[in-house]
A and B are shown apart, each in its own frame.
Chain A
Amino acid sequence: MDLKPSPERQILFDTLTKYFENEYKIADRNTAAHSELGYSKEAWEKMRDLGILESLIDPELNGFGGTPLDISAVFEALGRGLVVEPFLETGLVSTKILGKGNENQKKLVADLLENIALPTFCHSENDTDYRKSYVKTELVPDKEGNFLVTGKKVMIKNASGASHLIITCRSSGDYADEKGITIACIPSNRSGIDIKSFSSIDGGRVSDIHLENVAVLKTEIIGNDGKGFEIISEAIDFGILAICSEALGIMEKIKELTLDYLKTRKQFGVPIGKFQALQHRMAQLLVEIEQARSAVVNATINFFDSNERSSVISAAKFSIGKIGMLVAEESIQLHGGMGMTWEYDLGHYAKRLVLIDHEFGDEDFHLQKYIELQ
């Protein structure tokens, strides 16, 4: 029994954490995060040169990582750094899906590593229905044996800067059936695609994508027609593991910022951390963050256990959703007015932590799912 990260992963985590602390200033991050692109190309390229992408990608696709343990370690570090560059949708979920595709699609992963392609994952269609199988966007065959896609995708990350869109489509069945989902990967400049992009409260851009009779070649289908669910299901589970680990990194960083504040801010002549009312709230946060870490560890070590994965993934996302909101709200409260300002780092961490609950299914969705699995 050994529940500590291996020395190699600890080194990976420490190296990244140190890099972000020295090279990735939150003020610069905020400027980029609220720019038109939603992140910094320069920072993205530097991080790519560091090998962060490779650490998320399997060796057979020219990476050197890609296991749940690698992903968890890297995303915890990304969370601590509040990195807004598109490692989740592009670096992880997209590459997991492309890895199940044909040679051209696998080549897109290599192109991403070479910085000549930037795919993103276009899946959600409904603002409140988080089911993985919720796909209405229609894929119909045309006369030449190719396809046409029509529908709408909502709140897609990194769509405005993407070179390729990985789109889940329905080729048969009802809108929430697991059968009949087909994945297409097409260049983002194809005609019939209209991207409307919005500023995202936690940084970056989110887009609604309208697709109208968009042409898809049969070679642009990933996997088999109608059999896409398993592929996206596993990729999304990787995404959940990653975002839970990101949240954990954010919580640890928030814990440090808040503790620091409690030790330096003085009122009534003493550091406010001397007051028991605040000590107990802080101690409670520590207890909850340890439970959040355990939830992530549980999901990581059981990821490939087919009997357990759905259950531990939902338990983790539920725990992160519940504890994340507590940590965000309490840390703002403990900071008083400072927690409310744009200038101070804390609030930006808190915003990302809260919005993580809106990605891949929230606290209630995963509690319900956990109940159904018992």
Chain B
Amino acid sequence: MDLNFTEQQQEFQKEVRDFLDENLDTKVSEKVRNGISISKSESEDWHKKLNNKGWLAGPWPEEFGGQDWGVVEKFIFEEECGASGAPRIVPFGVGMLAPVLMKFGSDEQRKHWLPRMLNGEDWWCQGYSEPGSGSDLASLKTTAVKENDYYIVNGQKTWTTFAQHANMIFCLVRTSNEGKPQEGISFLLMDMNSPGIEVRPIITLDGSHEVNEIFFSDVKVPLENLVGEENKGWTYAKYLLTHERTGNANVAISKRKIKKLRKLASETKKNGTALVNDPLFASRLAQIEINLQNLEITNLRTLSSVESGEAPGAESSIIKILGSEIEQDIDNLTRKSLGKRAFINEPDAFSVGYNGPEIEPKAAATASGKYFNHRKKSIYAGSNEIQKNIISKMMLNL
């Protein structure tokens, strides 16, 4: 057993650190550190910087413009980005659709779409959930009917993250009602500017706009935008979901957040002493820290077996459950630590033009908002209950 990186990996780690030092805009990283959504142009700027370095899609094979990173390189890169407060790479294109196109798409599709992901021409969003199809995704009803050179799409998608920024969407649509629900699903690429598409914002508990509803009425989609074979979309979707669920440990981000919480609690007074020394608070904090340390090792153990050739199975479900719960625990304790200051909800306090009263401690501006926003973490990407179903089936064979 050995936790150390190889010399080469250590050099890579240093290279990433140096790159972040030089290229990460502190205004952007301050926003990220305080849990504020960054703007579309801030995201695009960051993607461009990464792409110039060749790191926007590090895990991609070299033939498609990637660096062929192994799991450890990917881990190092994400850890360093998480620790420094770099924006997360918007995953829908490079992280989610790209692996599907590489494995199941046509040569033309790969040649056309992959370079556009790298140079920022397209912003992708993901059309999976529908109002009646959440955890039971295979029951989805949005239809695509072949008519001459087009599919005609009708229906509705929901919870679509950043649809307001996107010019493209990949969608699961129903092309057949024969057989099991899973057997009539296809995987389509659509232009968000097509006539008949309407995007309506969904505002979440904290007042923020991340997710949307999308309505499709008689939207024409060229036949060549079908990925793989008709009615095989469920296979591609499952493949994509395993990619979505890896990298959900968020260890570096949680470490950064818990460090910040410890600092906050050492500067906050309770009954005349620092909150961090209050026995009940200290106990809650220590339990989360220990849980997080254990998760860090659990994550590394999984990486280590993937690196030695074992396929990642339901381990990603274990990590998704733990990662989301630990992040929620940190957000919860951060909110509690602020006492009555937790009432404040002023996300603009971190924006350049903010001219409201000063907020002290500044973390109070967004702490409760983030707490409520992050309830999503145990719901999205397969709710934690769905993860337990997967564990029961795949690991326990129940």
Contacts and interface: CB of A to CB of B under 8 A. Distances in A.
A284 interface: yes
Q: Specify which of B262, B291, B389, B396 lies most central, judged by the most chain A CB atoms within 10 Å of its CB.
A: B396
B398 A4 contact: no
A291 B295 contact: yes
Nearest to A323: B294
Interface stretch (A85-93, A169-177, A188-196, A272-280): A272-280
B391 A286 contact: yes
Contact of B294 (A6, A283, A300, A319): A319
A301 B4 CA distance: 11
A294 interface: yes
A301 B286 contact: no
A1 B398 contact: no
Contacts of B385: 280
A45 interface: no
B308 A291 contact: no
Given A1-B3, A69-B1, A284 B290 contact: no
Nearest to A297: B297
A308 to B, nearest CB: 10
A297 B301 contact: yes
A294 B1 CA distance: 12
Interface of A is mostly: helix
Interface string B275-300: 00000001100110111011111101
Contacts of B304: 1-4
A292 B298 CA distance: 9
Contacts of A20: none
Interface in A1-17: 1-6
Contacts of B290: 295, 315, 318-319, 367, 370
A263 interface: yes
Given A3-B2, A273-B396, A286-B396, 5 more contacts: A2-B2, A279-B398, A283-B389, A367-B286, A367-B287
Contact of A294 (B283, B298, B307, B388): B298
B392 interface: yes
Contacts of A273: 392, 396, 398
A1 B8 CA distance: 12
A72 to B, nearest CB: 9
Contacts of A312: 293
B5 interface: yes
B283 A282 contact: no
A213 interface: no
A287 B321 contact: yes
B322 interface: yes
Interface residues of A, number: 38
A286 B395 contact: yes
28 contacts: A1-B5, A1-B300, A2-B2, A3-B300, A3-B301, A259-B398, A262-B398, A273-B396, A274-B398, A279-B388, A279-B389, A280-B392, A282-B396, A283-B388, A283-B389, A283-B396, A284-B388, A286-B395, A286-B396, A292-B294, A293-B298, A297-B297, A298-B293, A300-B1, A312-B293, A367-B283, A370-B286, A371-B282
Contacts of B396: 259, 273, 279, 282-283, 286
Contacts of A282: 392, 396, 398
Interface of B is mostly: helix
A374 interface: yes
Contacts of B305: 3-4
Contacts of B291: 291
A318 B296 CA distance: 17
A301 B322 CA distance: 22
Contacts of B398: 259, 262-263, 273-274, 279, 282
Nearest to A374: B286
B318 interface: yes
A223 B5 CA distance: 39
Contacts of B297: 3, 294-295, 297-298
B72 interface: yes
B294 A298 contact: yes
A111 interface: no
B50 interface: no
A359 interface: no
B294 A294 contact: yes
B303 interface: yes
A142 interface: no
B286 A297 contact: no
A290 interface: yes
A259 B391 CA distance: 13
B20 to A, nearest CB: 21
A292 to B, nearest CB: 8
A2 B1 contact: yes
Given A280-B392, A315-B290, A297 B1 contact: yes
A237 B1 CA distance: 19
Q: Specify which of A6, A286, A301 lies most central, judged by the most chain B CB atoms within 10 Å of its CB.
A: A286
Contacts of B397: 259, 263
B392 A283 contact: yes
Contacts of A293: 298, 301
A274 B391 CA distance: 13
Interface string A324-362: 000000000000000000000000000000000000000
